[in-house]
Amino acid sequence: MDLLEDDDKLEEEMSSEIEEPAKTLAELPALDSELVEPLAESQLADDLDFSAIETGSVEDESADGRAWYVVHCYSGYENKVRHNLEQRIESMGMKDKIFDVVVPTEEEIEVKEGKRRTVERRVFPGYILVNMIMTEESWYVVRNTPGVTGFVGMGNTPTALRTEEVATIIKRMEAEAPRIKVTFKSGERVRIVDGPFNDFRGTVSEIDMERAKVRVMVNFFGRETPVELDFLQVEKA
């Protein structure tokens, strides 16, 4: 199957309705507030809030003009779009203008049915990052890749990410400790899945995001007793 046939097939697979893409960097989705990390990495969640990103500037481009741009694509097809774009870069001889295509991901730990597992999660569903020199030709190659719905920027002008934001995203992707997925909120019923209170049920009274701890009110010998636990020791009842 040649590249054009692959393109047609991918477009057909992606023909279902999608959400309206962001038109500016400030409209990009913020990170899920329920995802928290160990204390050593806790500050990164705030740093990576894309709702606070400002417009990039010429200073954020390298000497040869290359910069990172945010591209909106069909959610759930980020890896397919990346693969397809990489094929187009190769076949259309654009390696001197388009250098890298990244789907930002991170590892997270989730607890399900009392079992822990580490999964890979896309940081910004529906978006990929492209490192490129913006020219009319390189814009055309990226914009017309099947599954791509447009660049994020001001009006019709793609806006580059600032250098510090790119660095923070890379730190997020390279973090040694996986994040923890929190599925419960204050006031909700939870089940303890580990430790001396295993299989007890209680109500969340306090969540400490910085220490990755949760305080649960457990009925113990007929009295409501507060028990402090790690996030991974409880799950939504």
DSSP 122-165: ESSTTEEEEEEE--HHHHHHHHTSTTEEEE-EETTEE-BPPHHH
Q: Where are the alpha helices (DSSP H) in 14-133?
A: 43-47, 78-91
Paired sense of beta strands 213-220 and 223-230, if any: antiparallel
> What pLDDT is attached to residue 54?
36
Residue 108 vs residue 148, higher pLDDT: 148
pLDDT tens-digit profile of 32-90? 333 323 222 223 333 333 333 333 433 455 668 899 999 999 888 999 999 999 999 99
Residue 113 has pLDDT above 70, yes or no: no
Q: What number is the average pLDDT over the span 146-165?
A: 87
The distance in angstroms from the start CA to the end CA of the chain is 49
Using alpha carbons, list the distances in angstroms from residue 89 to 3, 96, 99, 132: 12, 9, 9, 11
CATH number for the domain running over 3-181: 3.30.70.940
Q: Where are the domains of the chain?
A: 3-181, 189-236
Which architecture does CATH list for 189-236?
Roll (2.30)
Sign of CA dihedral 186, 229, 34, 113: negative
How many other CB atoms sit within 10 Å of the CB of residue 210? 10
Burial 144-157 (b: 16+ CB within 10 A, else e): ebbbbbebbbeeee
pLDDT tens-digit profile of 10-30? 555 555 444 555 555 555 554
Q: Report the SS3 class of residue 51.
A: helix
> What pLDDT is attached to residue 164?
86
> What pLDDT is attached to residue 12?
59
Token pair of 48 as six digits: 């990576």
The residue behind tokens 């002008």 is 157
Residues 6+ apart with CB under 8 A from 170: none
